[in-house]
Amino acid sequence: MLKGIFKIISFYDEVRWSSVSNYNLINFYKNNVSDETKLLTHWLCYITDRQMSFERIWDVGGFVFSELADNFKETGNLQLLNPDNTNSFIEKNKNGYAFISNSKVSDNVVLRQSYNLKETDYLNFTPRYYPSDYFSILYTFDILKYFDNSLIKFIAEQINKHSKTDDYIKRLLFSLYLLTYFKIGQPKKSDILNFHENVKKAEKRTLEVLTILKNKEKFEIEYQEFKRDKIFYQKRAWCSLRDFLKSPEFMVYFKNSLEKRNVNCEQIEQLISIKSYRQFELPGDVWNNNSKFRNCILENTEYENSNKSLNKLLREFYEKNRNELENCYPEQFDITFDFVPRMCDSNNCDICPIGKLKGIQNSHFDKTCVNNNSLYCSVSLINCNYKIDCFGSKCKLMKIYNA
């Protein structure tokens, strides 16, 4: 049964990434930012993606961080994050600190229409966990100074080091973890105040990270330790790297940028492949660990009473059955971000494709399928709000039930 559920989820995942209309776009501060700046902006946005509206992260945070990323890419100046600096992108206010724009809203349609802002307004953006997010960004920038202020040069070097290993994606993810999330701790907002001391801390951490990255033996020791458990808890790093390799928008920026950094075509094609995707871990979150969804898919399996997080269980099951799950892999279950609120939380078990597979009584799933090539796929639209034309007789989802 769980094999069939993997295949159902794989269908939705393919639909999800088939069109840019199925996910939120970054609201860049201007139209002509470079591909590398777009990718760094995306990475910065995901640093702040914790327990707040994703629309605000990509709309408001995207505007602020794209300008910050653009400035850092050009100057490599850490003073951009000095709260005492006039042109800083971090500002002290009565409640603590906020990231701020140096540019006005001007004619930005998203900000004016959705946030009721004026042309002359400047933006401020305060992530829920901004003290640690601030240090993640500061520490990231300090390391990137050794890579021409470029996230892509950093990534390109890791690809060239690890592309011939069997687990090159996981090694790349570990390198990105070292870049941004390694030894961040639990800073307080008052810790942001002393910029000079924070730069010294950043420099000390940078030397430690560079030592790990350059020393093969040390890298291997740290990586093997990371892979045992921590790798399953890097939601933001996995999401961002996943988007670079699967998103029809960001994949183009990523490939173009890697080519300019002398990563060869064979390596790039390997990155954008099922071989890479199978190495992705599911970014664990409240949606794929939702009790109703979890209990449903694990019912009558060996994992039914397990206390492990779902991403670990899915990896374990996948490794045992990967030969029968040719185009499936654990990360695809991230569609629960869209599926669970619309289906499980709304008690739509009677029209659920998983319910039909399990043979629940009074399933009305078939009533939701229009089977008409001239219309959208009504199932993916209802279940996940994904827009794609109906596949008709070629539908992979329908073939699962007819197998």
Q: What is the pLDDT of residues 46-87, one digit of tens each?
A: 999 998 888 999 999 999 999 999 999 999 999 999 999 989
Whether 229 is covered by a domain: the verdict is: yes
Q: Is the pLDDT of residue 349 over 80?
A: yes
CA 65 to chain centre: 16
Instruction: Work out the average pLDDT over 259-272.
Output: 93
272 and 292 in a common domain: no
Whether 349 is covered by a domain: the verdict is: yes
Among residues of the chain, what percentage have pLDDT more than 90?
A: 86
Instruction: Work out the average pLDDT over 137-153.
Output: 97
DSSP 3-state of 165: coil
Q: Give the integer Cα–Cα distance in Å for 191 and 135.
A: 9
Per DSSP, what are the bridge partners of residue 96?
93
Whether 308 is covered by a domain: the verdict is: yes
59 and 11 in a common domain: no
Terminal Cα distance for the chain, rounded = 13
292 and 220 in a common domain: no
pLDDT at 23: 77
Which of 277, 302, 335 marks a domain boundary? Answer: 277
Residue pair 179/140 in contact (Cβ under 8 Å)? The answer is yes
Q: Give the integer Cα–Cα distance in Å for 342 and 339.
A: 6
Q: Is the pLDDT of residue 1 over 80?
A: yes
CA 309 to chain centre: 19
293 and 270 in a common domain: no
Please report where in the chains the tokens 């990509």 appear, as a residue. Answer: 58
Instruction: Work out the average pLDDT over 218-229.
Output: 96
Q: Is the pLDDT of residue 403 over 70?
A: no
Q: What is the pLDDT of residues 384-393, one digit of tens each?
A: 999 999 999 8
| pLDDT band of 21, cuts 50, 70, 90 | confident
pLDDT at 147: 97
Q: Give the integer Cα–Cα distance in Å for 168 and 253.
A: 21
Instruction: Work out the average pLDDT over 150-159.
Output: 97
Whether 22 is covered by a domain: the verdict is: no
Whether 25 is covered by a domain: the verdict is: no
pLDDT at 243: 96
196 and 97 in a common domain: yes
| pLDDT band of 352, cuts 50, 70, 90 | very high
Which of 223, 257, 277 marks a domain boundary? Answer: 277
In terms of DSSP H, where are the helices of 247-279?
Answer: 250-260, 265-271, 274-277
Q: Is the pLDDT of residue 216 over 90?
A: yes
Q: What is the pLDDT of residues 308-324, one digit of tens each?
A: 999 999 999 999 999 99
Q: Is the pLDDT of residue 359 over 90?
A: no
Lowest mean pLDDT among 17-31, 257-271, 382-396: 17-31
| pLDDT band of 20, cuts 50, 70, 90 | confident
211 and 69 in a common domain: yes
Instruction: Single out the residue of 217, 199, 215 nearest to residue 143, CA to CA.
Output: 199
Q: Is the pLDDT of residue 402 over 80?
A: no
Whether 121 is covered by a domain: the verdict is: yes
Q: Is the pLDDT of residue 288 over 90?
A: no
Per DSSP, the residues of 203-250 read HHHHHHHHHHHH-HHHHHHHHHHHHHTGGGG-HHHHHHHHHHHH-TTH
307 and 203 in a common domain: no
Mean pLDDT, all residues of the chain: 94
| pLDDT band of 12, cuts 50, 70, 90 | very high
pLDDT at 43: 98
261 and 371 in a common domain: no
Q: Is the pLDDT of residue 178 over 70?
A: yes
Q: Give the total number of structural domains in the chain.
A: 2
Among residues of the chain, what percentage have pLDDT more than 70?
A: 100
Q: What is the pLDDT of residues 156-169, one digit of tens each?
A: 999 999 999 999 99
More confident residue, 23 or 222: 222
334 and 246 in a common domain: no
Q: Is the pLDDT of residue 222 over 80?
A: yes
Q: Is the pLDDT of residue 91 over 90?
A: yes
pLDDT at 287: 85
